[in-house]
């Protein structure tokens, strides 16, 4: 979320400055970057807030696995949305070029940039979360049901 927050902030500042100083499709490209990243900034801010709340919670192994699966599913869904941004951006850009419409061309280019960044961002996050999930499953796979001096329990051999 920190990376998304930084990306959003940089795009808002750069886009605001550039949109005010440029004309034509470049103006609209930077304008859309600002619009798009105001939403990203809100998402990143909320995400960081939620992460900080969750950091102090103690989760069971089962709860950890459920959270892991939810995050992975969300990242796959987001990747699909990112592909939709890219596709829509490509369509708008080509339509703007063919119809000599600077706004459509600029907005399309912006959607392609933002969708490409978000796709890379979400896929990297997915890979990292998947690796964490594999560690959880490995840990779970090492648990054994065994007798102990106090009865029967789950044992993790070291």
Tens digit of pLDDT at every position of the chain (158 positions) = 999 999 999 999 999 999 999 999 999 999 999 999 999 999 999 999 998 888 888 888 778 888 889 999 999 999 999 999 999 999 999 999 999 999 999 999 999 999 999 999 999 999 999 998 888 777 766 666 667 777 766 555 66
Query: Is the separation of the CB atoms in 7 and 39 below 8 Å?
Result: no
Q: What is the pLDDT of residue 12?
A: 98
Q: What is the pLDDT of residue 147?
A: 73
Report CA-CA distances (Å) from 49 to 3, 45, 55, 65.
14, 6, 10, 22
Please report how the helices 2-21 and 102-141 are oriented relative to each other, as an axis angle in degrees rounded to 10: 170
Range of the domain at 94: 2-155
Total domain count for the chain?
1
Q: What is the pLDDT of residue 10?
A: 98
Q: What is the pLDDT of residue 146?
A: 66
Q: What is the pLDDT of residue 143?
A: 63
pTM exceeding 0.75: yes
Owner of token pair 């029967």: 152
Q: What is the pLDDT of residue 104?
A: 98
Q: What is the pLDDT of residue 8?
A: 98
Rounded to an integer, what distance in angstroms lies between the CA atom of residue 46 and that of residue 67? 17
């Amino acid at each position: 979320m920190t990376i998304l927050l930084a990306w959003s902030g940089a795009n808002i500042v750069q886009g605001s400055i550039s949109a005010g100083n440029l004309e034509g499709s470049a103006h609209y490209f930077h304008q859309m970057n600002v619009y798009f990243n105001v939403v990203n900034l809100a998402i990143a801010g909320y995400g960081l807030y939620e992460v900080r709340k969750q950091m102090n919670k103690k989760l069971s192994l089962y709860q950890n696995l459920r959270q892991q699966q939810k995050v992975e599913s969300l990242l796959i869904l987001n990747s699909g949305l990112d592909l939709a941004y890219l596709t829509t951006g490509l369509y708008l850009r080509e339509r703007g070029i063919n119809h000599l419409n600077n706004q459509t061309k600029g907005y399309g280019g912006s959607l392609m940039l933002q969708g490409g960044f978000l796709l890379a961002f979400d896929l990297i996050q997915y890979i990292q979360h998947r690796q964490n999930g594999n560690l959880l499953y490995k840990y779970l796979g090492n648990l054994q049901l065994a007798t102990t001096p106090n009865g029967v329990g789950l044992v993790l051999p070291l």
